[in-house]
Amino acid sequence: MLANASRLTPYLFLAPAVAVMVVALLYPLGYAIYASFLDWNPSQRIGEAEWVGLRNYAYLLGDAAFRESFWVTIRFAAIVVTIEMVLGVGLALLLDRKLRGMTVLRTVFILPMMIAPIVVGLMWRYMYHPTVGTLNRTLTDLGLPPAPWLSDGDWAFASIIIADVWQWTPFIFILALAALQSLPRSAMEAARIDGANGWQLIWHVKIPLMMPVLIVTALLRLIDAFKVLEVILVLTNGGPGLSTEIVALRIARTAQEFRDLGVASAMSNLLLLLLLALTIAMFGYTRWADARAARLAAAKEAEVG
């Protein structure tokens, strides 16, 4: 009896967490999947909605607006992650040294990440204002014509990229700096003894050793970039036209403005599948990197032995 009770004890401790996960995660997920097969609007209870099977998904595949928002999302995520990785890693390499005031400088660099996305959107919207905004006033003072930051499709797309890069480059910077500071000093010393200069040390020693962390960091940021909503909602609300309407904003508009909860649920599930694929890729790479490191360590021990 006591043996059975001791075996059940771990499950009893896990039961509350499992119950919370089922209620807070699995139930809403199942609800969204079920809703995607319905012709459902907010005026109906879900039990009153008509079952339409895969019609919502077929509609999305033929919907030009959804395809455009999906393409905007892909472009936005790819561009911002690339720029943020270059800037974040570059800043980490630049600030990985002992200089007076470096602690304060590092703190200043991470401040944008601490600001609420709604505040970031409002702040940049005021800066992009066509007449009184800081950016156009600066251009005018320099004798240059003002830019149509939010009124032209290409400029608006560039505007949301600038705002996102400003806010989330510190995320890359923090993780890259942590990776730099955890590198084995023996590898750096060996490279210096072999005559490597600063650039050779970066390209042939530091970057390769940081690569596992950088790849996981890029995947994490890519997943987050696909879900960004608040900043774009405040800045452009997806306009002009559909030039800045990402999938998350399309989902919100479909549910609230077009009042089609079934199609919005189908969009959410497609986005979830994409993010799930990225997550699986991240975990797969992490496991592969760990296994590779273990094999290299075993081979090195065998050589020493």
Residues of the chain above pLDDT 70, percent: 96
1 in any annotated domain: no
5 in any annotated domain: no
Domains in the chain: how many in total?
1
Domain range enclosing 233: 16-304
CATH number at residue 104: 1.10.3720.10
Question: Confidence class of residue 1 from pLDDT cuts 50, 70 and 90?
Answer: low
Question: Confidence class of residue 24 from pLDDT cuts 50, 70 and 90?
Answer: confident
119 in any annotated domain: yes
Question: Confidence class of residue 123 from pLDDT cuts 50, 70 and 90?
Answer: very high
- Rounded to the nearest integer, the mean pLDDT of the chain is 87
190 in any annotated domain: yes
**For the residues 222-246, what does the mean pLDDT come to?**
91
For residue 202, what is the DSSP state? I
Question: Confidence class of residue 305 from pLDDT cuts 50, 70 and 90?
Answer: low
Output the pTM of the full model: 0.86
9 in any annotated domain: no
pLDDT, tens digit, 9 for 90 and up, residues 58-76: 999 899 999 999 999 999 9
Cα(214)–Cα(279) distance, integer angstroms: 15
Tell me if 220 sits within 8 A of 111, measured CB to CB: no
pLDDT for 129 equals 92
Residue 299 has pLDDT above 80, yes or no: no
pLDDT, tens digit, 9 for 90 and up, residues 194-207: 777 878 888 888 88
Q: How many of the other CB atoms lie within 10 Å of CB of 158?
A: 15
Cα(219)–Cα(229) distance, integer angstroms: 18
pLDDT for 3 equals 55
Task: Choose between 229 and 293: higher pLDDT.
Answer: 229
Three-class SS state of 129: coil
Question: Confidence class of residue 120 from pLDDT cuts 50, 70 and 90?
Answer: very high
Q: How many CA atoms lie within 13 A of 249 on its CB side?
A: 25
269 in any annotated domain: yes
Three-class SS state of 44: coil
Task: Choose between 232 and 281: higher pLDDT.
Answer: 232
Q: Which two tokens stand for residue 24?
A: 């807070």
6 in any annotated domain: no
Cα(50)–Cα(210) distance, integer angstroms: 53
End-to-end CA distance of the chain: 50
Residue 149 has pLDDT above 60, yes or no: yes
52 in any annotated domain: yes
